[in-house]
A and B are shown apart, each in its own frame.
Chain A
Amino acid sequence: MNSKLTEVETAAPTIRKAGRQVNQNEGLIFEKSAPGKRGMELPPLDVPAIDPVEALGAGNSRDSIEGFPEVSEIEVIRHFTRISTWNYAIDLGMYPLGSCTMKYNPRVNEHVARLDGLASEHPAQPAEVSQGCLRILYDLQKCLLEVTGMDAATLQPVAGAQGELTGLLMIRAYLQSQGNARKKVLIPDSAHGTNPASVVIAGYEVQNIKSNARGQIDTDHLREFATEDVAALMVTNPSTIGVFEERIAEIAAILHERGALLYMDGANMNALAGVTRPGDFGVDVMHLNLHKTFSTPHGGGGPGAGPVLAKKILEPFLPVPVVVEKNGRYALDGNRPQSVGRVRAYCGNFGVLLRALAYTLAYGPGIRQATEDAVLNANYIRKNLEESFDLPYNLPSMHEVVFSDARQKKQGVNTMDIAKRLIDYGFHPYTTAFPLIVPGAMMIEPTESESKEECDLFIDAMRSIAIEAETNPELVKTAPHSTRVGRLDEVAAARKPILRWKP
């Protein structure tokens, strides 16, 4: 037990930030429904009405849907407004979630995405009346290529996981064109779960490689495992413990000399933008998460965008269509015989791509400042929590830091408990279950959007919880205490799933 707590650490905890959440009682919309109410009216029909049975044939039409909501506009507004108050959000405070990059979602991005002439456009309309949309895509491509130091881009994948799959398919197509698609992809044991899942869908086998004692890719292991059967290594850089892979050039060289490629998961690009470029340190293909580094809103779980950037050798294999420019005219080029095919209908999540461009234009070359502030915040938090929490890897942190619950575990308090107690201090928890190489992980990424004040409040909260873990562990283990609902019974939810409302 660590009894050498300093004066600061033993000071009485004060909860400065949070108050109780608003305690609106609100049921489901179906429970407010009553026949005859409606929330929207349609303009009257200006053509002859039609009998559905006559139009569709007997047996092809349906009656009104039983149990479908019948509510007024005001009830809809109140219902969703009330339940929205049960959510935490970036607009309220920090999400210290590691590798999620929960940064501010600029409102001008919402405004421009809704402009008439942009939100209204149909993806199949002729190119000659879509030059504005196509130019937005092309301009974004140019920016992303510059940020990453790559040669070719596709904006079609609509999530990081889909970007991973696309990149892997491009690797496969390239290797196939060289005569042998190979069989395996190497994945570090610290990788995000989408990486191995994507490998399997791409038709490859996963080969896990262990991290070394520094939480980095073990280059000796890599030499051993990078056989002729290996198509690629998927690396996250900085790694999921927030540390830059110091031997990245060597890693790239080992792969390249064996005819394999280096894929980079760009989830942690927030540590690199404007400071270094993956294309410069040996990456062949990568994806970006625009809903992370490029500020597009998470929206409770999406939409996202996962554009893929690649070196010239992979350009022929880009998904179709590719956005091209010639003499100031923009077009979608579908004539790509070596393309891996299409990964989504149309050209991707245009509305998300548009927001990412707005974000990039706001910063311009000054994007470096955002990266510097992100790394500054993470290191400031690290420095001020090192006395309270175990730091499994004592290496320079970039934009995120990973602690472990090793000290608090001795009192029976684990990372999940600490995370839940953090809620009582007005914060969203950090990432608890990941990376797998750190048992009891506490992955913290503040992003550049956090002020010194917010960082200080977070530090105070974490220090206070560390004290509580020593002096009053039960309080932490039964947290949160200030939310509308307490810890929910996930076991019952999984044993007997109730996945819809029934009348």
Chain B
Amino acid sequence: MRYLPKSPSEREEMLESIGVDSVEELFQSIPEKFRLRKPLDLPGPLSEMEIIQYFQARAGENARGYTSFLGAGVYQHVRSVVADAIIQRGEFLTSYTPYQAEISQGTLTAIFEFQTLMCQLTGQEVANASMYDGSTALTEAVLMAERLTGKHRVLVARSVHPEYRQVLATYAKNVGLEVEEIGYTKSGQIDTEALSKAKLGEAAAIVVQSPNFFGVIEELPALAEAAHAAGALLVTTIAEAASLGIVRPPVEADIVAMEGQSFGIPPSYGGPYVGVIATREKFVRQMPGRLAGQTTDGAGRRGFVLTLATREQHIRREKATSNICTNEALYALAATIHLCLIGKEGLRELALQNLAKARFAAAELTKIPGVRRVFSGRVFNEFVLEFPRSVKLINAALLREKIIGPLPLGLHYPELTKRGLVCVTETMPRAEIERLASATKRILETPL
């Protein structure tokens, strides 16, 4: 087998050295009745070529060649092959967690750069080395707010990504954390009136997403003020990180939980992605996850180490800030490389292109009779449209033309049937936006 570097004679030599006749003897400690007598019923073994064929076949059974207008937490953005080439270097791909700093300075330097970039993007003072993704980063940020305030209740906007809220609910119910949901107004933003009636003084935090699931930007300074006045924190989550190229960063938030997939990471049917938590320096000891810190060696040379490890599970065990161990290091590296490539001006230019494309798409689509913008709030690259009939039916017809249409909102928001979430990024050619509009118009003109 090509992954096993032993010849039969070497195995013999080694058995002899150990002093046993066969490898079976090395498994004697397993009670006989549990030792398998026949091989497992598994497909294979396949040669490299056959493995590629299997996956090529699977790749042909998906949406290759389709044009997709989906966003909703996962975004199609430009990616450079450079990042992919670098993360495939064995020294990055096949290296371990950098506990042994002297031989992990590559990883640690890159983590330090990642932490810096995340601070620059979010306007926060410290950021960690990564979380699993946006949904779990938000959950951990909420638990962190609970620890910091000692209060066991949070107010969460319904306009936060439904799956993020589901993950939070799964974790919250086992640790006695009460989650109260606050609705949205016709602007698409959180209902501040409902918020003011929600006993903020008893809450650990207000939790919003910006841009939110409807694509709408929340008014964070006012929310922060309201939270702080009541002794609560403001936790903000960002699912579309590319928005930070042009949208004002959440500097007033106390904790930011971000999804970094927009930074050069492919959609890959749901993962791996990269979450991050960024916060104020005074909260650093309550942060979950790894942190790389700068220091020097005996000769005064600059180097980096994992630090403040006493927060973590391998030292604090049941009193740890989190159980997180393995995170998304390689994709934090991919995001870092991507951000270095796209750079200061490119990041802004990309964000501006998103704004422009979304504006154009909204204009084209709302020309169609019966199609209207739903929320009045400002958006980045996603917006909600109302259609004269079920979005699912429209999408079924669009699919036949190899277009994946807007995300129907009725599944997650029963009050929002016949509404769809449209996402348009810089990667969407104008011609495809026009094709979506003309196809939709034609489909709507066709009687059911």
Q: Do A and B come from one complex?
A: yes
Q: Which 8 A-B pairs have the closest CB atoms?
A: A364-B44, A299-B330, A117-B59, A91-B90, A346-B270, A301-B329, A132-B61, A341-B170
List the B side residues contacting A15 at CB < 8 Å.
none
Q: A89 contacts B29, CB within 8 Å?
A: no
Q: B318 contacts A91, CB within 8 Å?
A: no
Instruction: Give the segment of B116-124, B192-200, B438-446 that binds chain A.
Output: B116-124
Interface residues on B, range: 35 or more
- One of A79, A158, A298, A319 near B97 (C-beta < 8 A): A298
Q: B18 contacts A380, CB within 8 Å?
A: yes
Q: A298 contacts B174, CB within 8 Å?
A: no
Question: Is the CB of A465 closer than 8 A to any CB of chain B?
Answer: no
Question: Is the CB of A28 closer than 8 A to any CB of chain B?
Answer: yes
Q: Tell whether A423 pairs with B103 under 8 Å between CB atoms, given A45-B353, A49-B356, A132-B61.
A: yes
- 6 A–B pairs (Cβ distance < 8 Å), ordered by A: A87-B95, A125-B62, A132-B58, A344-B271, A345-B167, A372-B23
Question: Is the CB of A297 closer than 8 A to any CB of chain B?
Answer: yes
Supplied contacts A40-B342, A192-B314, A375-B27, 17 more A-B pairs, CB within 8 Å: A39-B82, A76-B337, A119-B268, A158-B132, A159-B326, A161-B313, A161-B324, A197-B316, A341-B170, A341-B173, A354-B55, A360-B42, A361-B44, A375-B26, A485-B101, A499-B292, A500-B112
- Over the window 75-118 of chain A, the binary record of Cβ atoms lying under 8 Å from chain B Cβ atoms (1 yes, 0 no) is 01101110111111111100101001011111010111111111
Interchain nearest-CB distance for A275 vs B (Å): 6
- Over the window 27-47 of chain B, the binary record of Cβ atoms lying under 8 Å from chain A Cβ atoms (1 yes, 0 no) is 111110011100111111110
List the B side residues contacting A87 at CB < 8 Å.
91-92, 95, 103-107
Instruction: Give the segment of B149-157, B201-209, B298-306 that binds chain A.
Output: B298-306
- One of B34, B59, B293, B333 near A281 (C-beta < 8 A): B34
Instruction: Give the segment of B227-235, B246-254, B367-375 that binds chain A.
Output: B246-254
- Over the window 128-162 of chain A, the binary record of Cβ atoms lying under 8 Å from chain B Cβ atoms (1 yes, 0 no) is 11111101100100010011000000000011111
Question: Is the CB of B189 closer than 8 A to any CB of chain A?
Answer: no
Interchain nearest-CB distance for B81 vs A (Å): 10
Question: Is the CB of B413 closer than 8 A to any CB of chain A?
Answer: no
Question: Is the CB of A340 closer than 8 A to any CB of chain B?
Answer: yes
Q: B343 contacts A115, CB within 8 Å?
A: no
Q: A118 contacts B271, CB within 8 Å?
A: no
List the A side residues contacting B61 at CB < 8 Å.
131-132, 135
- Over the window 341-367 of chain A, the binary record of Cβ atoms lying under 8 Å from chain B Cβ atoms (1 yes, 0 no) is 111111111111010001011111111
Question: Is the CB of B284 closer than 8 A to any CB of chain A?
Answer: yes
Q: B63 contacts A342, CB within 8 Å?
A: no
- Bound state CA distance, A169 and B169, in angstroms? 12
Interchain nearest-CB distance for A394 vs B (Å): 13
Q: A489 contacts B292, CB within 8 Å?
A: no
Q: A86 contacts B132, CB within 8 Å?
A: no
List the B side residues contacting A60 at CB < 8 Å.
217, 247-248, 378
List the B side residues contacting A83 at CB < 8 Å.
105-106, 109-110
Q: A69 contacts B100, CB within 8 Å?
A: no
- One of B1, B27, B119, B136 near A363 (C-beta < 8 A): B1
List the A side residues contacting B390 at CB < 8 Å.
none
List the B side residues contacting A429 at CB < 8 Å.
100
Q: B344 contacts A69, CB within 8 Å?
A: yes
Quick one: which of A148-181 are within 8 Å of B by CB? 158-162, 164-165, 169, 172
Q: Tell whether A159 pairs with B325 under 8 Å between CB atoms, given A143-B43, A300-B333.
A: yes
- Over the window 226-264 of chain A, the binary record of Cβ atoms lying under 8 Å from chain B Cβ atoms (1 yes, 0 no) is 000000000000000001101011000000000000000
Question: Is the CB of A120 closer than 8 A to any CB of chain B?
Answer: yes
Question: Is the CB of A1 closer than 8 A to any CB of chain B?
Answer: no
Interchain nearest-CB distance for B317 vs A (Å): 4
List the A side residues contacting B40 at CB < 8 Å.
146-147, 274, 365, 367-368
Q: B92 contacts A122, CB within 8 Å?
A: no
Q: B116 contacts A30, CB within 8 Å?
A: yes
- Bound state CA distance, A343 and B190, in angstroms? 25
- Bound state CA distance, A55 and B87, in angstroms? 37
List the A side residues contacting B31 at CB < 8 Å.
246, 248-249, 281
Quick one: which of B1-56 are within 8 Å of A by CB? 1-6, 10-11, 13-15, 17-19, 23, 26-31, 34-36, 39-46, 48, 50-52, 54-56
Question: Is the CB of B415 closer than 8 A to any CB of chain A?
Answer: no
List the A side residues contacting B430 at CB < 8 Å.
46-47
Q: Which of B11, B27, B217, B337 has the most CB of A within 10 A?
A: B27
Smallest CB gap from A165: residue in B: B323
- Over the window 456-483 of chain A, the binary record of Cβ atoms lying under 8 Å from chain B Cβ atoms (1 yes, 0 no) is 0000000000000000000000001001
Question: Is the CB of A406 closer than 8 A to any CB of chain B?
Answer: no
Question: Is the CB of A211 closer than 8 A to any CB of chain B?
Answer: no
Smallest CB gap from A384: residue in B: B17
List the A side residues contacting B298 at CB < 8 Å.
486-487, 489
Smallest CB gap from A364: residue in B: B44
Q: Which of A69, A319, A366 has the most CB of B within 10 A?
A: A69
- Bound state CA distance, A494 and B308, in angstroms? 5
List the B side residues contacting A372 at CB < 8 Å.
23, 26
Smallest CB gap from B49: residue in A: A108
Q: Which of B31, B84, B104, B344 has the most CB of A within 10 A?
A: B344
Q: Tell whether A375 pairs with B23 under 8 Å between CB atoms, given A299-B93, A301-B326, A396-B28.
A: yes
Interchain nearest-CB distance for B101 vs A (Å): 5
Quick one: which of A45-75 are within 8 Å of B by CB? 45-50, 52, 55-57, 59-62, 64-71, 73
Q: B14 contacts A452, CB within 8 Å?
A: yes
Interchain nearest-CB distance for B131 vs A (Å): 10
